């Protein structure tokens, strides 16, 4: 599982609970976080480096648990770069499948869905990529998406300043609601944001369904591995790798997930 920093730990935690018998290797590119303010070529190059490192660990299947990297890099990687015996999957599709109530692998034409007005909260790079809208268009028609770039939220979370992060979330929700006063659903399009899901929900109001990724991705991964057990890889132990300073990242991660996590140098 790959992420630009600590946000992917929310997905990893859900996946480990859903698949307790499966060993995972987590790679956090903490030396270069956040990705949300980087250009597309930089994001692509860094993501490829991280995936190659996970392949060397025996991970034939890599989940890109970073929405920015999923939005900017995954499609290009899948089309031009990933070998036939490897798989690289992003985190957008399970979210969209839940929103549109389509089963995994449903390749039927796009159709009308119940939800018509969707708020998307994501990093500036994810928003500018329009990847969410593109993937949604493959599955649904007639859905209005209003995207809000949430600058500063990832940095505040990574630095442990939750008070600032909560204030920024409220500000971003207010900004979106000025453009879309009555969204029916909200997508938390960054794996850091589940830590603040209650703040998003409170600011949006009780009538807005909030879609968050960890459980949805974990369920989708369990389904995928049930059908493709050969993609489990050869690893036998869970480990955590970082491009940052292992001790500092371990401390932040422990605070982030509220349980002990020990990273080693990637």
Active site residue 190: yes
Q: How far apart are CA 56 and CA 59, in angstroms?
A: 7
Q: How many CB atoms lie within 10 A of CB 68?
A: 33
Beta-strand runs (E) in the chain: 2-3, 25-28, 61-63, 87-89, 111-112, 117-122, 140-141, 144-149, 185-189, 209-211, 239-242, 264-265
Give the whole-angstrom CA distance, residue 188 versus residue 186: 7
Bond into 34 cis (ω within 30): yes
Annotation says 150 is catalytic: no
Tell me the C-alpha to C-alpha distance, in Å, between residue 10 and each of 69, 89, 162, 203, 225: 16, 17, 16, 21, 20
Of residues 50, 15, 4, 77, the one with CA closest to residue 224: 15
Cβ atoms 186, 209 nearer than 8 A: yes
- HSE-CB at 79 with a 13 A cutoff on CA atoms is 5
Q: Any idea what the Cα angle at residue 79 is, between residues 77 and 84, rounded to 5°?
A: 90
> Could you say which of 48, 59, 150, 190 is catalytic?
190
The residues annotated with a catalytic role in the active site are 66, 190
């Amino acid at each position: 599982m790959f992420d630009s920093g600590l946000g992917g730990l929310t997905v990893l935690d859900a996946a480990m609970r859903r698949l307790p018998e499966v060993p995972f290797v987590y790679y956090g590119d903490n030396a270069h976080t956040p990705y949300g303010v980087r250009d597309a070529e930089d994001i692509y190059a860094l993501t490829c480096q991280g995936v190659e490192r996970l392949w060397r660990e025996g991970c034939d299947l890599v989940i890109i648990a970073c929405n920015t990297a999923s939005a900017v890099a995954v499609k290009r990687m899948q089309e031009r770069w990933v070998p036939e015996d490897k798989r690289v999957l992003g985190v957008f599709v399970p979210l969209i499948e839940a929103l549109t109530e389509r089963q995994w692998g449903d390749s039927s034409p796009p159709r009308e869905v119940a939800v018509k007005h969707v708020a998307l909260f994501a990093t500036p790079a994810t928003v500018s990529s329009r990847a969410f809208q593109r993937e949604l268009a493959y599955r649904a028609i007639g859905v209005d998406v209003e995207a809000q770039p949430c600058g500063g939220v990832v940095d505040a979370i990574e630095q442990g300043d939750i008070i600032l992060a909560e204030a920024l979330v409220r500000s971003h929700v207010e900004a979106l609601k000025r453009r879309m006063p009555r969204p029916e659903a909200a997508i938390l399009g960054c794996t850091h944001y589940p830590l603040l899901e209650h703040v998003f929900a409170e600011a949006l109001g009780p009538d807005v369904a909030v879609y968050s990724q960890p459980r949805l991705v974990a369920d989708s991964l369990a389904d995928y591995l049930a059908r493709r057990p050969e993609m489990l890889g050869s690893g036998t132990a869970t480990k955590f790798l970082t491009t940052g300073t292992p001790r500092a990242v371990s401390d932040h991660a422990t605070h982030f997930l509220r349980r002990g996590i020990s990273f080693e140098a990637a």
